């Protein structure tokens, strides 16, 4: 099935456009167009009013042997809406308008008629002055005289109005100047008052800001003093204990509860917890007792016995530790036995 909307036509190979017959149409043929009435008109036959903008199916034709600067002029035929009488009008490119031709009269043409009359008078005057220099002089004197009369009439009207109105123009000017001065002073006072209020608000705001800043600094300094403890080493905070005697019973209970929870979760420093490895205790060096030399023979035995007893008691009270950290009670016993044998 062929397409419905075909854009290209088929031309056979033996197509010859010269063989196509040409239409011979008359030059003054008419076309049917749709238009609106270009102006208000009244039918001459029945007196019906046809207003501007009413639509018609009109016949259009080109006016023969009539041009305006190479532009063709068209004529339109319409029918009256009441009596069906034929009305014709044509274009007027000279005045960019339409001209009524037959069957009706154009309404509301007072302004157009006045303009046409003025144009006609000006043209007649120019034609007269073109060939008659005396007419030019007469027209100039008439114009000047007319201007002087107009000015005199205007001055008389002004004086008449002043006599009837009895208006004091000097007083009006003075009052207006006084009013302007008062307005300027009032505006100046308002500006000064607004600037003063703005400065006061800015001063109050600055004072408030300074007070708040000083308070914040005091609070920060007091808080830093309360929060910063006097510690020499980072690990001292784990071993230092704050005195709780100054606090009340409630504060002491809270402190004990905190210590108990800490010990349960982490453990004490002396225990085998994780924090016990942070603090390393310094191990004391091993001390050995030197054997006492034998006493001289001149010294009595009682004194030697007392000295040996005192030294034995002192050595027994002070246990000796070795590098491994074990007590040397056996060594003390051996030395005591040797001392007793010597004394004997």
Q: What phi, psi does 318 have (nearest 5°)?
A: -105, 100
How many beta carbons lie within 10 A of that of residue 31, not counting itself? 10
What whole-number distance in Å separates Cα of residue 104 and Cα of residue 85?
9
Give strand ranges (E) for the chain.
31-36, 41-43, 49-50, 55-68, 71-79, 86-92, 97-102, 104-106
Nearest residue to 102 (alpha-carbon basis) of 44, 185, 171: 44
Nearest residue to 294 (alpha-carbon basis) of 313, 308, 306, 309: 308
Q: Is 80 annotated as a binding residue?
A: yes
315 contacts 332 by C-beta, under 8 angstroms: yes
Query: Which residues have C-beta within 8 Å of that of residue 34, sequence separation ≥ 6?
Result: 55, 56, 57, 58
Judged by DSSP in three states, 235 sits in coil
Name the one residue in this structure whose structure tokens are 């050595």. Answer: 315
Name the one residue in this structure whose structure tokens are 């606090």. Answer: 247
Q: What is the token pair recorded at 115?
A: 């303009």
DSSP class of 321? B
CA distances from 120 to 92, 114, 116, 174 (A): 18, 10, 6, 53
What whole-number distance in Å separates Cα of residue 310 and Cα of residue 5?
141
Name the one residue in this structure whose structure tokens are 């001065």. Answer: 181
Name the one residue in this structure whose structure tokens are 């001149």. Answer: 298
Q: Is 43 annotated as a binding residue?
A: yes
Residues annotated within the binding site for Zn(2+) are: 43, 46, 80, 83
Residues annotated within the binding site are: 43, 46, 80, 83
């Amino acid at each position: 099935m062929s397409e419905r909307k075909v854009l290209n036509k088929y031309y056979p190979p033996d197509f010859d456009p010269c063989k196509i017959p040409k239409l011979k149409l008359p030059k003054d043929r008419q076309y049917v167009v749709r238009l609106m009435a270009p102006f208000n008109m009244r039918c001459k036959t029945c007196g019906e009013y046809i207003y501007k903008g009413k639509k018609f199916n009109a016949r259009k034709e080109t006016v023969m042997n009539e041009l305006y600067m190479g532009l063709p002029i068209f004529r339109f035929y319409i029918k009256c809406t009441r009596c069906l009488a034929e009305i014709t009008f044509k274009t007027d490119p000279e005045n960019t308008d339409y001209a009524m031709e037959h069957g009706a009269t154009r309404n509301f043409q007072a302004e157009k008629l006045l303009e046409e009359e003025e144009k006609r008078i000006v043209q007649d005057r120019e034609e007269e002055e073109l060939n008659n220099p005396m007419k030019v002089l007469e027209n100039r004197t008439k114009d000047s005289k007319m201007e002087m009369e107009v000015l005199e009439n205007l001055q008389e009207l002004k004086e008449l109005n002043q006599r009837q109105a009895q208006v004091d123009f000097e007083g009006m000017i003075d009052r207006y100047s006084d009013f302007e001065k008062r307005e300027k002073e009032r505006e100046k006072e308002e500006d000064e008052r607004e600037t003063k209020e703005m400065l006061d608000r800015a001063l109050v705001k600055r004072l408030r800001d300074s007070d708040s800043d000083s308070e914040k600094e005091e609070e920060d300094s007091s808080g830093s003093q309360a929060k910063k403890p006097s510690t020499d080493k980072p690990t001292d905070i784990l071993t230092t204990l704050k005195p709780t005697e100054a606090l009340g019973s409630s504060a002491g209970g809270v402190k004990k509860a905190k210590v108990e929870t800490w010990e349960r979760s982490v453990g004490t420093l002396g225990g085998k917890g994780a924090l016990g490895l942070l603090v390393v205790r310094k191990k004391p060096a091993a001390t050995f007792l030197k054997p006492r030399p034998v006493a001289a023979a001149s010294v009595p035995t009682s004194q030697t016995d007392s000295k040996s007893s005192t030294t034995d008691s002192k050595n027994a009270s002070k246990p000796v530790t070795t590098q491994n950290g074990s007590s040397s009670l056996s060594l003390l016993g051996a030395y005591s036995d040797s001392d007793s044998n010597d004394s004997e």
